[in-house]
Homo-oligomer: A and B are copies of this chain.
């Protein structure tokens, strides 16, 4: 694994090495401009034994870089808040923007190894964790990231000597913590799990490079070269469309939009009576959810003027305001657009016991972004699988994932648009863009049919809600939410 350059470097004498070292680092610095221009985001994950010199290595790599275009992220034990989110969440949050480096001073591998050693993961959970990491890394690479993974190895004797040296100097002893000592004491146990994690996440798109940390200059040169090569090959790779994975998730058979019965309705009396009871019930369930720590994610999509806003309002007015958040999703801000498209949704996930309602969602990728050309064809074609994987991770985490397509027909939309246009208090709700989108109804319908077909997994199916009668739609969504939560409790 990436040891091929070692012998060549080791043949150099110290002066030759220093010269090459300086040249190589300057070469890396000059690539900073290249990654900016090519909009390449670069993740450098440095894992390794404690006292192997990860920090020193990073300090070397960044020395000539422009500090505005990189960040160094030291690994920390997860906070209580982070422990109430999916494992990958806090790692996903740290990914860089296009044109920037993130140097991670250990990350998801170390956390996994510690969790396994400490007994917080059983065999099955460990396997699942590694599978998720593979999905995470592959998605990043497919979305244009360079993910360079380095493991800094030192022998047990060397590690012991270094820790001893650090501990015996009062200026450095604070750097040695109980985990470092534990790692040394149970080195075999740690080694076994590190080995397994590395071999099982050693994918073609994000391979591991195990480097020997014995000699500082050697490792610096090696990693610097790996980074330079990695950048060049990532730029070349990004010119080619990534492969579209074949769907492997269990799917639910769904109707086309044209086949959906839009004539369903209720009387206002039926509506008010049932809504009141349903809201009461939902309120109680919310309470139970909270206590059981089950997160709920409700995704709303639908035609303009289909009644999403009013529908959401009836849902939330039943809920304790401290336990839910509504996320209106507009076009991404620049700092969001410059990251993997799911990033801004990972950032908005609920904590355990909380409900997150998305008013428009990650499915924008295969609707507006597809139809307006805001992403490449390869991007949106890959997205079906990426979204299925995302929701699978949420569902495996224990979340209830509910997706609504709020459906109306074209005539109903026209009526509502006209009503908005002609009612002064409602006019703000209608924009030129709504009228333009309406002209593309048929294209959208095809895109939505494809989306519903390809992303109605068994664990996170779409529910198409007839909303020509908004009252009927409101009852229907609240019934589905109640039903899904009851099943989860």
Closest Cβ of chain B to A66, distance in Å, is: 6
Closest Cβ of chain B to A9, distance in Å, is: 24
| A81 vs B59: C-alpha distance when bound (angstroms) | 24
Cβ of A393 within 8 Å of any chain B Cβ, yes or no, is no
For chain A, the bracket of interface size reads 35 or more
Cβ of A269 within 8 Å of any chain B Cβ, yes or no, is no
Cβ of A105 within 8 Å of any chain B Cβ, yes or no, is yes
Among A81, A321, A335, max chain B CB count under 10 A is at A321
A309, closest chain B residue (CB): B66
Cβ of A317 within 8 Å of any chain B Cβ, yes or no, is yes
Cβ of A91 within 8 Å of any chain B Cβ, yes or no, is no
| A359 vs B67: C-alpha distance when bound (angstroms) | 10
A321 in complex: contacting residue of B68, B103, B316, B325, CB < 8 Å: B103
Query: This chain: how many copies in the complex?
Result: 2
One digit per residue, 1 when the CB lies within 8 angstroms of any chain B CB and 0 when it does not, for chain A 59-91 equals 100111011100110100001110000000000
Residues of B within 8 A of A325 (CB): 71
Residues of B within 8 A of A428 (CB): 33, 36-37
A80, closest chain B residue (CB): B79
Is B326 a contact partner of A68 (Cβ separation < 8 A)? yes
A59 in complex: contacting residue of B74, B320, B326, CB < 8 Å: B320
For this complex, 26 residue pairs linking A to B, each with C-beta atoms less than 8 Å apart, are: A30-B425, A36-B428, A37-B428, A58-B322, A59-B320, A62-B316, A62-B317, A63-B317, A66-B309, A67-B316, A67-B359, A68-B309, A68-B312, A68-B326, A68-B359, A72-B322, A74-B322, A79-B79, A79-B81, A103-B321, A105-B322, A171-B284, A174-B291, A333-B333, A333-B334, A333-B335
Closest CB pairs A-B (n = 10): A67-B326, A68-B328, A72-B321, A74-B322, A67-B316, A63-B317, A333-B333, A58-B321, A59-B321, A79-B79
